[in-house]
């Protein structure tokens, strides 16, 4: 680990030296990048941009920018994709993977964008509003201007959001575009197919998209070795090992969108969509081995869900400097789930759940001479009801709501860039006899100062809250096996999080490097708790639940480097850092250190594009569980022919049985060594064909795409 960390640090500073030498040699031919940083990324911004600049020369407020690909602004890492990157990508997933953003994992095959599991979710936006999976697949990449990567989201981005990716594109006002993106895995039954069409006429746009995902895995296996401390202080040992496993999933999405806009004045948009998810088969044949005696049990589960969503959006520009934005989203979810466990102590239950949710938001913005002021109000309301039948019988009904008001100013004091924001939120929760109102003051401060010509120093502070997941709140016991029971806790309350970071960056036209130091404190967070109980029949049960406990601390130092070694021909990006975790429960204390790193290299060879990436996996400690994800790597090649892009992606080559992750539970009552093996992910070979056809396209101001739907039904599931 030390050698790897030293290698990355030396690599980073070697690249600085090379890039500096390159800059000096080309000093007469390359102009230094100059950017007017009056662009706020912490709230919705309605820019009306008729920029028609080409890839290597971007005109921003009459300042010519030559060859700069990355800029560390006050609130974001802003990256300008090259024409080669856009032309060789079939979807936004492909483009973002080529940008190799720090701490972000993009899977072009699964169409997922994720971050390390305990660092928050990734929110992807198009023109500063949340984008759906269909939006990212059907985006016109030729209209992409730049991408803002925000590691410390502002006061209005929502709950548990650790990263925001904001893709800025120009709006089409005429013509049409149709296309398809088809991905099929050759090594096992797995596909992801998207069809879309967009039509623009005058002030109107109509778009329709359909998505179908299918997966049938037969090489999943789970293994665990457990030890339990019994009441008489003896240990009970058991090994659980899957002999067979099959997991089949089918997912449909249909989205219809209509927008009506007048350039520089107003935009109205209505979006109607629906998700239909079905997991008809989740079958496991498992061996339980105790003292060389083997007992085989069968575990079956199935799940269905249906979730329509309606979103309405309106933006009005008042004069040249003011705007008002209104947004409302309503979602309904209907879900059913069944689970059964065989063996000597059979156990089964079913669950039906319904949920209704409403999200509404209003934002006012005023771009004044000295600074930009914005304020807003968010309101969300959710009703959730789950009925359990069988060996687990209960009816859980949860009401919760959130009101959040915020205000922010952003400006410059000489060379110092600043953002100052504050917000107040009130969360209401009620389930049976448990209820509370949780108030939180949520400040935000960002300071950035350039020095030594190409260096910039930035400090960021914010406070926010993380509410518990609905499945943690259900007031019910669910048996996992003969010894373990999962128990919900209706008394959980949100976690208060204080986040600090200090970043130093260095920038040249074709080179960017930074080192970020971050410290995060989760106060009174909901953490795992395992209790031992003996029932009236003398049987010992180990209760797995969650309780609000002392705190979790995370400290890390992470370096990131991206370098256009040969502009438009060869690019390289790498990230790596040291992470330290401190977990303080009511009855335990655990510490853990890890190194996490990844790199990506891409070569553009005419109509061919070849890329390679690798990651050592994400290792972390949360509560009493230490998780080590496996190292992964992939090799991809694509060829562009007219309106088609043909791609072949090889993931985790030469690994027949990929150990997806390992987990270690170090509780005083229960010790576990767990292993998840995914044979389907080893030597995974996927073929993609993308087709995009457009005609008569012209672009004007920016548009709006949204995804505030809520599909969380809160059903507690068996393990």
pLDDT tens-place string over residues 485-519: 999 999 999 999 999 999 999 998 889 999 999 99
Calculate ∠ Cα 23-24-25, nearest 5°: 90
The string of pLDDT tens digits covering residues 550-566 is: 999 999 999 999 999 99
Which is more confidently placed, 11 or 625? Answer: 625
pLDDT value at 100 more than 90: no
Q: What is the pLDDT of residue 255?
A: 96
266-290 vs 235-262, strand pairing mode:
antiparallel
Question: How many Cα atoms are found within 13 Å in the side-chain-facing hemisphere of 381?
Answer: 5
Percent of the chain with pLDDT over 70: 87
CATH code of the domain occupying 2-344+358-700: 2.40.170.20
Q: What is the mean pLDDT of residues 43-70?
A: 38
Measured distance between the N- and C-terminal CA atoms of the chain, rounded to whole angstroms: 33
Q: What is the pLDDT of residue 153?
A: 76
Q: What is the pLDDT of residue 57?
A: 32
pLDDT value at 546 more than 90: yes
Q: What is the pLDDT of residue 156?
A: 67
Q: What is the pLDDT of residue 160?
A: 72
Alpha-carbon separation of residue 662 from 43, 112, 223 (angstroms) = 39, 22, 10
Containing H/E element for 133? Answer: helix 133-138
| Burial tier of 143 (Cβ tally within 10 Å: 0-12, 13-18, 19+) | middle
Q: What is the pLDDT of residue 710?
A: 57
Q: What is the pLDDT of residue 715?
A: 59
Question: Which residues, in sequence order, are CB contacts of 689 under 8 Å at separation 6+?
Answer: 180, 182, 644, 645, 646, 647
Query: What gap in Å lies between CA 388 and CA 348, rounded to an integer?
Result: 10
pLDDT value at 345 more than 90: no
Neighbours of 403 (CB within 10 A): 15
Q: What is the mean pLDDT of residues 602-624?
A: 94
Q: What is the pLDDT of residue 126?
A: 86
| 312 bridge partner residues | 270, 328
pLDDT value at 116 more than 90: no
Q: What is the mean pLDDT of residues 282-311?
A: 95
Q: What is the pLDDT of residue 714?
A: 59
Q: What is the pLDDT of residue 201?
A: 85
Q: What is the mean pLDDT of residues 662-677?
A: 96
Q: What is the pLDDT of residue 398?
A: 94
The pLDDT mean for the chain works out to 86
Residue that is written with structure tokens 């007048």 in the block: 262
The string of pLDDT tens digits covering residues 410-429 is: 999 989 999 999 999 999 99
Q: What is the mean pLDDT of residues 231-246?
A: 96
Alpha-carbon separation of residue 384 from 131, 179, 427, 436 (angstroms) = 25, 38, 16, 17
Confidence of residue 344 (pLDDT cuts 50, 70, 90): confident
What is the largest distance, in Å, between two alpha-carbon atoms of the chain?
A: 86
Query: What gap in Å lies between CA 337 and CA 328, rounded to an integer?
Result: 30
The string of pLDDT tens digits covering residues 83-93 is: 989 999 989 99
| Burial tier of 55 (Cβ tally within 10 Å: 0-12, 13-18, 19+) | middle
pLDDT value at 30 more than 50: no
Q: What is the pLDDT of residue 704?
A: 42
Asked if residues 502 and 458 have their Cβ atoms less than 8 Å apart, the reply is: yes
Q: What is the mean pLDDT of residues 367-383?
A: 93
pLDDT value at 17 more than 80: no
pLDDT value at 6 more than 60: no
Confidence of residue 708 (pLDDT cuts 50, 70, 90): low
pLDDT value at 2 more than 60: no
Nearest to 35 by CA among 145, 150, 126, 144: 145
Percent of the chain with pLDDT over 90: 66
Q: What is the pLDDT of residue 41?
A: 29
Query: What gap in Å lies between CA 458 and CA 417, rounded to an integer?
Result: 9
pLDDT value at 21 more than 90: no
pLDDT value at 4 more than 60: no
Query: What gap in Å lies between CA 714 and CA 384, rounded to an integer?
Result: 8
Q: What is the pLDDT of residue 320?
A: 86
| 645 bridge partner residues | 640, 690
Domain locations in the chain? Answer: 2-344+358-700
Query: What gap in Å lies between CA 337 and CA 197, rounded to an integer?
Result: 35
Confidence of residue 431 (pLDDT cuts 50, 70, 90): very high
Q: What is the pLDDT of residue 45?
A: 35
């Amino acid at each position: 680990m030390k050698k790897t960390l030293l290698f990355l640090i030396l690599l980073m500073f070697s690249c600085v030296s090379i890039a500096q030498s390159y800059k000096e040699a080309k000093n007469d031919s390359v102009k230094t990048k100059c950017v007017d940083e009056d662009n706020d990324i912490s709230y919705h911004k309605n820019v009306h941009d008729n920029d028609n600049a080409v890839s290597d020369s971007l005109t921003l407020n009459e300042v010519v920018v030559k060859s700069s690909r990355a800029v560390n602004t006050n609130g974001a890492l802003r990256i300008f994709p090259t024409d080669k990157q856009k032309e060789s990508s079939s979807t936004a997933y492909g483009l973002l993977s080529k940008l190799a953003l720090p701490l972000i994992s993009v899977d072009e095959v699964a169409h997922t964008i994720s971050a390390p599991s305990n660092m928050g979710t990734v929110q992807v936006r198009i023109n500063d509003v949340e984008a759906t999976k269909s939006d990212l697949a059907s985006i016109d990449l030729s209209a992409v201007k730049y991408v803002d990567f925000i590691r410390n989201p502002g006061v209005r981005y929502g709950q548990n959001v650790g990263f925001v990716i904001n893709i800025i594109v120009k709006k089409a006002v005429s013509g049409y575009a149709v296309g398809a993106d088809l991905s099929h895995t050759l090594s096992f039954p797995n596909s992801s197919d998207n069809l879309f069409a967009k039509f623009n006429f005058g002030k109107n746009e109509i778009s329709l998209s359909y998505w179908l995902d299918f997966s049938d895995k037969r090489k999943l296996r789970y293994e665990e070795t457990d030890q339990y401390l019994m009441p008489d202080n003896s240990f009970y040992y058991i090994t659980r090992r899957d002999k067979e496993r099959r997991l089949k999933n089918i997912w449909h999405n249909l989205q219809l969108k209509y927008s009506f806009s007048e350039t520089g004045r107003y935009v109205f948009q209505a979006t109607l969509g629906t998700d239909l998810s079905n997991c008809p088969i989740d079958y496991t044949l498992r061996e339980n081995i105790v003292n060389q005696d083997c007992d085989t049990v069968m575990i079956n589960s199935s799940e269905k869900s249906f979730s329509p969503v309606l979103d309405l959006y309106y933006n009005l520009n008042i004069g040249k400097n003011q705007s008002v934005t209104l947004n409302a989203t309503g979602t309904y979810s209907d879900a059913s789930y069944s689970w059964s466990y065989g063996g000597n102590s059979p156990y089964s239950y079913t669950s039906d759940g319904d949920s209704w949710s409403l999200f509404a938001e209003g934002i006012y913005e005023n771009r004044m001479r000295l600074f930009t002021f914005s304020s807003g109000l968010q309101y969300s309301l959710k009703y959730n009801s789950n009925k359990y039948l069988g060996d687990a019988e209960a009816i859980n009904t949860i009401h919760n709501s959130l009101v959040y008001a915020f205000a922010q100013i952003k400006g410059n004091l000489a060379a110092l860039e600043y953002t100052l924001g504050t917000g107040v939120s009130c969360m209401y929760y009620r389930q049976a006899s448990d209820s509370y109102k949780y108030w939180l003051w949520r400040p935000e401060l960002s300071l950035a100062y350039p020095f030594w010509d190409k260096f910039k120093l930035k400090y960021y502070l914010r406070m926010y809250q993380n509410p518990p997941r609905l499945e943690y709140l259900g007031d019910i016991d669910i048996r996992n096996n003969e010894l373990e029971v999962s128990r919900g806790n209706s008394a959980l309350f949100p976690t208060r999080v204080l986040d600090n970071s200090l970043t130093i960056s260095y920038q040249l036209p074709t080179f960017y490097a930074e080192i970020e130091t971050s410290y995060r404190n989760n106060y009174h967070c909901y953490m795992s708790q395992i209790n031992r109980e003996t029932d009236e029949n003398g049987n010992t049960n180990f209760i797995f639940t969650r309780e609000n406990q002392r705190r979790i601390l995370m400290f890390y130092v992470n370096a990131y480097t991206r370098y256009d070694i040969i502009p438009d021909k060869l690019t390289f990006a790498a990230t790596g850092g040291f992470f330290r975790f401190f977990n303080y429960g009511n009855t335990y204390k655990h510490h853990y250190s890890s190194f996490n790193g990844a790199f990506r290299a891409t070569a553009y060879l005419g109509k061919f594009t070849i890329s390679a990436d690798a990651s050592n996996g994400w290792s972390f400690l949360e509560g009493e569980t230490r998780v080590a994800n496996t190292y992964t790597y992939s090799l991809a090649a694509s060829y562009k022919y007219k309106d088609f892009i043909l791609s072949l992606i090889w993931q985790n080559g030469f690994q027949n049985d990929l150990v997806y992750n390992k987990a270690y539970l170090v509780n005083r009552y229960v010790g576990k060594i767990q292993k998840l093996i995914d044979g389907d992910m080893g030597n995974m070979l996927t073929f993609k064909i993308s087709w995009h056809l457009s005609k008569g396209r012209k672009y004007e101001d920016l548009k709006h795409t949204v995804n505030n739907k809520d599909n969380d039904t809160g059903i507690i599931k068996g393990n």
